Amino acid sequence: MTSLTHSTKPAKLNEIKRIWHLVDLKDKILGRTTPGIAKLLQGKHKPSYVPYLDVGDYVVAINAKYVVISGRKAQTGGLKVIPYEEMMKRNPTEIIKRAVSGMLPKNKLRDRRLSRLYIFKDENHPYIGKFQLTNSKDKVK
């Protein structure tokens, strides 16, 4: 008996192509952009995605000090050891990193995926010539 559908072959490690994406966080809502960044890091936007392989891309997030959160979450909210406003003054890149880390699956690939995330406070970064995609507005809202 012949099969009516074709089976998809998973990507091999030497076939994985990683693309650099630039995400501008200026005046973007934190809770709306971090799932898109996590999706790019996992590689879920690629047709060769499989959950047990790390096929994700590199992400450079700029303007981290200009990211916003909605409502009065900066002043109030749940249990916080360091309030949002104070963390934003100290280290705004840590806010983005923790938010994206919370969106990634809790497995052995998490640290590898997070190591491909580069976050900068402002527009200055050393990865200017690496982008194949000039901006990933279509993937991260």
Containing domain of residue 82, as a range? 17-124
Task: Identify whether 136 is part of a domain.
Answer: no
Task: Identify whether 11 is part of a domain.
Answer: no
Q: How far lies 74's CA from each of 24, 26, 70, in Å? A: 21, 17, 8
Task: Identify whether 90 is part of a domain.
Answer: yes
State how many domains the chain has.
1
Task: Identify whether 73 is part of a domain.
Answer: yes
7 versus 80: which is more confidently predicted?
7
Task: Identify whether 4 is part of a domain.
Answer: no
CATH assignment of the domain containing 76: 3.90.1180.10
Task: Identify whether 39 is part of a domain.
Answer: yes
- Give me the percent of the chain exceeding a pLDDT of 90: 55
Task: Identify whether 109 is part of a domain.
Answer: yes
**pLDDT class of 75 with cuts at 50, 70, 90:** confident
Q: For 82-129, how does the pLDDT look when each residue is reduced to its tens digit (9 = 90+)?
A: 888 888 899 999 999 999 999 999 999 999 999 999 999 999 888 887
Task: Identify whether 71 is part of a domain.
Answer: yes
